[in-house]
A and B are shown apart, each in its own frame.
Chain A
Amino acid sequence: MSLPAIAITKLVKRFGDSTVLQDIDLEIPEGKVSCLIGPSGSGKSTLLRCLAFLEESTSGMITINGEALGFFETPNGKRERLPDTQIRAVRAKTGMVFQQFNLWPHMTALGNVSEALKTVHKLPKRQAEERAMAQLRKVGLENRANHYPSQLSGGQQQRVAIARALALEPKIMLFDEPTSALDPELTGEVLNVMRDLAAEGMTMVVVTHEIGFAATVANQISFLDHGRLLFSGPPSEIFAKPRHPRLDQFLDTYLDRGASMLA
């Protein structure tokens, strides 16, 4: 049994008085696709944002490839914040794709993808752009390299956002509802890029409402409800009948979202 790509132990996240995540324990296997599903407000996006360290957990621990992210907990329960340089090093193992794409509007597609290569990794402009171009080619947008985000469709913008994350050669890709802001006819191109990525063996954690995608591509599906991880397992197992009643209820609301095959 190899080391999991991500190990989450007893993770708690509170915003003020409300507990958004309660004692989450989850291991995400290396080289596999793991989908987080659940109704809105269930905490799945917050969990993903904790993995990207965009949210700081209240207690508990996350390790990425065995290295603690952000905080370190000693066995007697003491919690220490790790130094910023270390946090940055561990974060660099992950790439993040947002629901709203979040491309920088003042840069072209190529500029978006090459930015961190230039400013963070200090690659010379030419080299950075060559690497960026290779990523754009991978997502099929080589011929849109000089377009600004406002000149691209939503699906194209999201593919650029994926290329931007991939350019930094992460070990793990985090996707936060990557198709939720897209028109239905544009989701396919993004899901296809993600399928290709999965086929290459990239470790992926995907918060999604695309139950069809989850059922066909995921190796592991985790169902969250009210901040708790209700269950987690391979799709064949969790979708097999009899199902958890909460999942059944949830799937009912998604029958028109490509989940009809599971009904």
Chain B
Amino acid sequence: MTLKLFTLLLQAAISTVAISLISIAVGFAIAILISAAMISKKPIYVFPARLFVSFFRGVPLLVQLLLIYTLLPVIGLNVPSIVAAIVGMSLCTAAYQAENLRGGFESVPRGLIEAAEVTGLNPRQTFFRIRVPIALRLTFPALINEAIMILKSSSLVSVVGIIELTKMAQDLASSTYLPIPIFATAGLIYLVINSAVALIGRFAERSLGGAST
């Protein structure tokens, strides 16, 4: 295990983190819309949202990635594989985050929404000013959980040809015949990244502490 190998692993870890963070953020934006659709009580919104969630939760991420990677060129979108990877991961995490958020929205006490109503906020203002921030606080631990899951699942994007941490470790292991130190180091890097995410999450949660229900 040389410094050169370690540097290569770290560089690959940057891809892992970048792909994961972008997917979590994009997935979150999609999840807000999907969960809003699910709580809308209007079948024309609820049904497609449910369909979306059941598909992206029910099909393995690996299959989703392969499907998206092969499907995009067929429908005329020739995008680099990194885009296909981010699209796949974003849609998948969006499904999970949407379910979390829906639970959060439904746990916002009815009275807080009534208070918004009687102070004159319209439904859109109530959604963005009251429901979203409160639901977010309620679901924050689940969001951090999901971020960690996505960081780990990102190892799957190697199937569409992206060299991230796991793939790099595999390649290095087979070319150097040093699998154990290399995989152990890769595992350690994942652990450090995820511990940092958990730590940031806990810190953020505490700084929201005064605002808990």
Interface residues of A (CB under 8 A from B): 52, 54, 88, 91-92, 94-96, 98, 100, 102-107, 115-116, 119-121, 147-148, 150-151, 161, 164-165, 168
Contacts and interface: CB of A to CB of B under 8 A. Distances in A.
Contact of A119 (B129, B134, B137, B212): B129
B119 interface: yes
Contact of A98 (B111, B122, B208): B111
A115 B211 CA distance: 16
Interface string B33-64: 00000000000000000000000000000000
Contacts of A103: 115
Nearest to A148: B210
A81 B125 CA distance: 23
Contacts of A164: 115, 119
Interface of chain A: mostly helix, strand, loop or mixed? loop
Interface in B98-147: 109, 111-112, 114-122, 125, 129-130, 133-134, 137
B119 A98 contact: no
A62 to B, nearest CB: 15
Interface of B: 109, 111-112, 114-122, 125, 129-130, 133-134, 137, 208, 210-213
Contacts of A98: 111, 114-115
Given A119-B125, A119-B129, A148-B211, A106 B118 contact: no
Nearest to B213: A105
A115 B213 contact: no
Interface of chain B: mostly helix, strand, loop or mixed? helix
Given A98-B111, A119-B129, A120-B125, A105 B211 contact: yes
B129 A115 contact: yes
Contacts of B134: 104-106
Given A102-B111, A102-B112, A102-B114, A150 B210 contact: yes
B125 A102 contact: no
B76 to A, nearest CB: 43
Contacts of A104: 112, 115-116, 130, 134
Contacts of A94: 118
Given A106-B211, A148-B210, A116 B111 contact: no
B126 to A, nearest CB: 9
